Structure 1
Amino acid sequence: MKRVIALLALLAGCAPVLEVGPTPDLALQTRAISSQALFGAPRPQPTQVPNAQIARDILELGFQLESGREIAALSRFEGPVTLRLAGRLPPLAVLETDRLLGRLRREAGLDIQRQTGPANINVEFVPRTEMRRSVPEASCFVVPDVASWSAFRARLRGSGLNWSEVLERDTVLVIAPSDATVQEMRDCLHEEVAQALGPLNDLYRIAGTVWNDDNFQTVLTGYDMLVLRVWNHPSLRVGMSKAEVARRLPAILATLNPRGGSGGPAAPSPTNRDWIRAVEGALSATTPARSFGLAREALGIAVDQGWQDSRLAFSLFLFARFAPPARGADALDALTQASRLYGALPDAAVPRAYVDLHLAAQALGGKQYSLVLQLTERSIRAARRSENGALLSSLMLLRAQALAAQGAVAQATELRRDATPFALYGFGSDKAADARRDEIALLAQP
């Protein structure tokens, strides 16, 4: 079972763990590998979460910061919203931004336009090295009451930039990397612009949203668009208390999402702050032993709390992700449990696809080629729908290895060729795409 850990390590680049990779080749970022060219029209699925649960989610997302600090009143933009791009724009920044804004207009009903002059939302692209000198742990972020990177850096030395003090939003700054892959740049736009327009918190217990720090969902989902539509509904107003919003949510959701029904599961238990610290520590620790120790702690807390949602599933995934070679059998069992859990949760096809990627790698190493084909078939659909090029190309390459091993060489060759543009989109360069292909080829060797 030690081989399981080796397979997990090889596929670490697809794991939802933020790592600083090599600088992408921006010359490759042409229209041919834009989201529209690769994935076509967006196809988000309507959420399967009951309205009663969505209402609870919105209250927790919107009236609490990630730190746990309470927000007293509803905060949002009022009226039409403008957005401006600034800084060192990546080649596809305009295309990806306009595609996002089109979705926000169609799916969330927002009146939002891009313009070149002063705007409400200012998206500034900054080199990653420069960004991390000021905010070392951030890949991208959103802050209130400033309109530029230089103004933000000046304010870092003083006071302000406090979301809990903002009622009507007027000016917001989104900082995104100027030298990232297309996928990372796109992901930052989706998550940070969504927080500029809606709730500010992240909840690990919700599987189908970008408002979750597990980083599985990377583009706005059907759930997310519904939340934005509710948050900006005309029957809500800036300054409303949590209780006032709570009274209005059932009627709003019944109108916007009649399929959500009037019932729902019991309210989930609060997320233990010790669990959050263990998860974040596992993801940021500098040694494998420390990461595994904290992942094991998070799993223990999740089990003790009796959770049966994405918090337990993610804990199982992290346990497997960081398990040492001697715990290979336990890692495989944890992945199997995580896949089963995600399979039973609403809106969790994408998290399950990440888990199944690792299970398929294990199956390939064990020459279980039919199982590889079974796992990748369902996961490829989820990866394509969620426009995740890194995940999709890796699944396609795993599938190609299994097909080749079964003698379907021509089909495998075609699948590898088809995976290339998605790999460039997700990994950023020919070198990185080739490395991913070679890593997966190694999995099939004796």
Structure 2
Amino acid sequence: MILRFLPGLALTIAFAACTPTNGDVAERSENIPTALPVMNTFGAHNTPRPSRSNTAIAADFLDLTFQMESGRVIDRMSRFEGPITVAVTPGAPAHLIADLDGLIARLRSEAGIDISRVSGGAGGSASIIVETLPRARMQRVVPQAACFVVPRVASWSEFRRSRAGRTLDWTTLNSREHVAVFIPSDVAPQEVRDCLHEEIAQALGPLNDLYRLPDSVFNDDNFHAVLTGFDMLILRTYYDDALQSGMTRAEVASRLPAILARLNPRGGRGSELSRSHTPREWIAAIETALGPGTTDIERIAAANQAVQFAQRSGWSDSRLAFSYFALGRLTLSREVETSIAAFQSASAIFDRVAPGGIQSAHIDMQLAAFALAAGRSEESLRLTARAMPIATQAQNASLLSTLLMIRAEAMDNLGRASEARAVRLDSLAWGRYGFGSDRVGTRLSEVAALSPRR
């Protein structure tokens, strides 16, 4: 079983921490229209190619393919052999089908995979079955999972019957024939889409996540919402004719240089990143910092431990940056100067290892919120303007919506009321996709509460 955990707290902590606690947030709804605009959605995705060297990508491929997230070794590669079909069981939200069709089109064109959607009536005969169910029902069985993928079953009931044995053990597969993806039906459209991208990618290919990757959904930091150019190259390599199910790590490693030279000819001149192992001690600290069941003080302590561990290990990559990012989020309401300094440290590293990446847009959003709360509206506009194209490129509607909400408040503060109204409407249109129609008004009120004029 491969889990996508509940989304990180990149957006929720910031505004819960900055929002006043005197109970008046719900009253600040004068800027919320009585009727929400039509929901915005993203069009075709323009995917930049990875900039790293093929040598680095080969090492990433091997670590993603021959190890589980738990650290267990996978002895032999497994994949689907032959055409792949995807079926959705009845009852799924309508927007899921549209996003799934977009994903399948990208997998065909960018990863070269022979994959297609068949009608839900195909049921258990499909290679990949996508089933939706209420989040509460799903989490009664698998707590903390936002969504997940399992092998050798075709339905939720079959999954529940098979949990006791080794049926669901990915390391026992010789090849893949049937895989089930379980996604909550009652969450925001963006979360459904994010689950489709990550879980279908892992149903098809690598089963591991690596925190060192700054440009991939195969990373538990959850920065990337949709499959990246790196991810598509990994999947294209996974289904290259030179590879097949049953190969060992050594056999795959011997063929990767020729495969990548053919698929990614510019990779011979790409950049390098650290490929050092990520110890469980650091991962445990991050999971404590961002997971449930601990106090704020314990989480901040865990984030500090992650920073210190990364520094002692000599890391200067995205893992150190993510440690600072976690610390910045968790200290928002308690130690503002510490929070700002942590975000700035994270930003400096991300600007080096992932220039113009989605990580920088998340940090700019946090700093723009600080600037808005401090009455520095022009700075808030500058930061949001820098982050919005990145959020759009990454197809992150919740981040884009929040940036637009911050801009609307900053414009109101500067006396630009008509512009603010137009931007606010746009934020709600994106927010319906990013947060869900029933939650976007709450987000707008939370952002409005940051403004000093309120």
Answer whether TM exceeds 0.5 for this pair: yes
After superposition, give the CA deviation of every residue in 1:220-256 in whole Å (9 maximum; x if it has no partner).
1111111100111111111111111112112211111
Give the letter aligned to residue 144 of structure 1: P
* Cα contact 2:51–2:271 (8 A) shared by 1: no
Give the letter aligned to residue 421 of structure 1: A
CA distance in 2, matches of 1:176, 1:228: 22
Give the letter aligned to residue 92 of structure 2: L
**How far is the alpha carbon of 1:387 from its aligned partner?**
1.2
Say if 2:425 is the partner of 1:417. Answer: yes
Which residue of structure 2 lines up, in the alignment, with residue 323 of structure 1?
Answer: 331
* Cα contact 2:85–2:128 (8 A) shared by 1: yes
**How far is the alpha carbon of 1:265 from its aligned partner?**
2.7
CA distance in 2, matches of 1:166, 1:31: 48
Aligned residue runs from structure 1 range 8-407, under 5 A: 9-11=13-15, 33=39, 38-116=41-119, 117=122, 118-262=125-269, 264-265=271-272, 267-286=274-293, 287-323=295-331, 325-346=333-354, 349-407=357-415
* Cα contact 1:349–1:379 (8 A) shared by 2: no
Relative distance call for 1:189 and 1:112 in structure 2 (3 A) is same
Which residue of structure 2 lines up, in the alignment, with residue 19 of structure 1?
Answer: none
Which secondary structure does the structure 2 equivalent of 1:84 belong to?
strand
**How far is the alpha carbon of 1:52 from its aligned partner?**
1.6
After superposition, give the CA deviation of every residue in 1:269-309 in whole Å (9 maximum; x if it has no partner).
21011000111111213221121111111111111111111
> Percent same amino acid among aligned pairs?
45
CA distance in 2, matches of 1:388, 1:12: 20
The unaligned stretches of length 5 or more in structure 1 are 1-6, 14-29
> For the aligned residues, what is the CA RMSD?
2.0
CA distance in 2, matches of 1:234, 1:366: 57
* Cα contact 1:104–1:225 (8 A) shared by 2: yes
Relative distance call for 1:241 and 1:32 in structure 2 (3 A) is farther
CA distance in 2, matches of 1:293, 1:340: 23
When structure 1 is superposed on structure 2, of 209-218 and 338-347 the one drifting more is 338-347
**How far is the alpha carbon of 1:267 from its aligned partner?**
4.7
- Residue-pair matches, total: 420
* Cα contact 1:360–1:376 (8 A) shared by 2: yes
The unaligned stretches of length 5 or more in structure 2 are 1-10, 18-35
When structure 1 is superposed on structure 2, of 121-130 and 342-351 the one drifting more is 342-351
* Cα contact 1:292–1:324 (8 A) shared by 2: no
Give the letter aligned to residue 15 of structure 2: L
Which secondary structure does the structure 2 equivalent of 1:140 belong to?
strand
TM-score, normalised to structure 1, is 0.90
Which secondary structure does the structure 2 equivalent of 1:139 belong to?
strand
CA distance in 1, matches of 2:52, 2:81: 28
CA distance in 1, matches of 2:79, 2:68: 14
* Cα contact 1:182–1:426 (8 A) shared by 2: yes
**How far is the alpha carbon of 1:263 from its aligned partner?**
5.9
Give the letter aligned to residue 439 of structure 1: E
After superposition, give the CA deviation of every residue in 1:88-108 in whole Å (9 maximum; x if it has no partner).
311212111111111111111
**How far is the alpha carbon of 1:421 from its aligned partner?**
1.2
Give the letter aligned to residue 310 of structure 1: S
4+ residue runs over 4 A deviation: none
**How far is the alpha carbon of 1:69 from its aligned partner?**
0.6
Which residue of structure 2 lines up, in the alignment, with residue 436 of structure 1?
Answer: 443
TM-score, normalised to structure 2, is 0.88
The structure that is helix-richer by fraction is 1
When structure 1 is superposed on structure 2, of 256-265 and 270-279 the one drifting more is 256-265
**How far is the alpha carbon of 1:407 from its aligned partner?**
2.6
After superposition, give the CA deviation of every residue in 1:46-76 in whole Å (9 maximum; x if it has no partner).
2222222111111111110000011111111
Which secondary structure does the structure 1 equivalent of 2:320 belong to?
helix
